[in-house]
Structure 1
Amino acid sequence: MKLASFRKHPNGTWEYRIRYKDRSTGKYKEKSKRGFKTKKSSIGSLPGGNGIGVLRIL
């Protein structure tokens, strides 16, 4: 299962973080990317999709 979280930084940019379990090692890993001007643009840039499922949750 992949979980995404979003955070707004003091400088006004947004960041997303994805936590997932690596199938080959069984360990949990995390990826993040920051510098988006809006939360919507950070959702749209999630790897592996267009973020529509995440929009429904938010």
Structure 2
Amino acid sequence: MNKLVLIILAIIFPPIAVALNSGVGKDLVINILLSILFFVPGIIHALWLILR
């Protein structure tokens, strides 16, 4: 159930899903930059981190 919530959250707002999954660190910074520049790569990065 928790993974399902993270996947839904990754589609809506990727940085929050990454922060909940990986904590505050380099993955969060990368995801914020990807989400600011282009939204779709931020979603893909968040889903990749959650599902790996």
TM-score (structure 1 length as normaliser): 0.36
Does 1 or 2 have the higher relative contact order (CA < 8 Å, sep 6+)? 2
TM-score (structure 2 length as normaliser): 0.39
From the CA coordinates, give the structure whose radius of gyration is larger: 1
When you count strand as a share of all residues, which structure comes out higher? 1
